[in-house]
């Protein structure tokens, strides 16, 4: 279990080193926003990029705090789950940080609509990884399909997480495919619709399991 703490800490440390290097080599004014066509429509100070490494640090520190809380209660399952979620979140924000910083340093490159497509694909991968963790999650106050029905008892919880996890993985894979196949405009619509349907259906199924096993 200690190795997971070390992994998150190492990733956060590397992010700080990367940020220092980026601040040294980047110009004072860099592209800060692109339209759906991949064209630069706003420049800003390089220090605006500080928000991304801050997100990396928050996404690593908060899960570790939860993990230590669960460790103090001898809940190893929830501790492990918290650390796994932390690793996924940190890697996700690091990937986005590196992507946008490289784009900022290479503003002369024509990105076209690939920017939006990359974001859709990243959301799909992130969703797939998180949902893959759900069937393994024991009843906790941090992660999973949490409705008043799903937390009623252990059996209802397990069934709800399995349904939400497996269906969420399928949803995430579809999002990745839509990012590869469709334009950003269509991909973002598919993303919103699919995640909304998944959330609603998972909640409904948690009620179905509650009525069956309570």
Pairing mode, strands 29-34 and 40-45: antiparallel
% pLDDT > 70, the chain: 88
Instruction: Check residue 2 and give its pLDDT.
Output: 81
80 has pLDDT over 90: no
Q: For the chain, what is the mean pLDDT?
A: 83
CA–CA dist 73, 94 (Å, integer): 31
Domain boundaries, the chain: 1-112, 113-214
Confidence at 115, pLDDT banded by 50, 70, 90: low
pLDDT score of 38 more than 70: no
pLDDT band, residue 22 (cuts 50/70/90): confident
Reduced to 3 states, what is the DSSP secondary structure of residue 188? helix
Contact 82, 66 (CB under 8 A): yes
User: Average pLDDT, stretch 19-29?
Assistant: 85
Angstrom distance (rounded) from CA 176 to CA 126: 10
Q: Does the pLDDT value for residue 53 go beyond 60?
A: yes
74: left (phi > 0), else alpha (psi -120 to 50), else beta? left
- Summarised one tens digit per residue, pLDDT across range 135-167 is 887 787 667 888 889 988 889 999 999 999 999
Query: What span, in angstroms and rounded, lies between the C-alpha atoms of 157 and 149?
Result: 8
Q: What is the pLDDT of residue 101?
A: 81
């Amino acid at each position: 279990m200690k190795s997971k703490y070390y992994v998150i800490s190492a990733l956060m440390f590397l992010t700080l080193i990367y940020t220092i290097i980026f601040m040294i080599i980047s110009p004072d004014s860099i592209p800060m926003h692109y339209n759906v066509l991949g064209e630069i429509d706003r420049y800003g100070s390089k220090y605006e990029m500080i928000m991304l490494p801050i997100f990396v640090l928050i996404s690593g520190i908060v899960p570790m705090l939860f993990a230590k809380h669960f460790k103090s209660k001898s809940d190893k399952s929830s501790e492990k789950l918290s650390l796994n979620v932390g690793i996924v979140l940190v890697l996700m924000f690091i990937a986005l940080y590196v992507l946008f910083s490289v784009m900022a340093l290479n503003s002369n490159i024509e990105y076209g609509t690939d920017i939006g497509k990359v974001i859709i694909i990243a959301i799909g991968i992130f969703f797939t990884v998180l949902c893959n963790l759900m069937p393994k999650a024991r009843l906790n106050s941090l992660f999973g399909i949490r409705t008043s029905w799903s937390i009623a008892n252990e059996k209802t919880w397990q069934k709800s997480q399995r349904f939400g996890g497996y269906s969420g993985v399928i949803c995430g894979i579809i999002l990745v495919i839509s990012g590869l196949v469709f334009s950003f405009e269509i991909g973002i619509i598919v993303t919103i619709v699919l995640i909304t349907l998944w959330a609603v259906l998972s909640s409904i199924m948690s009620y179905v399991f509650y009525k069956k096993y309570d």
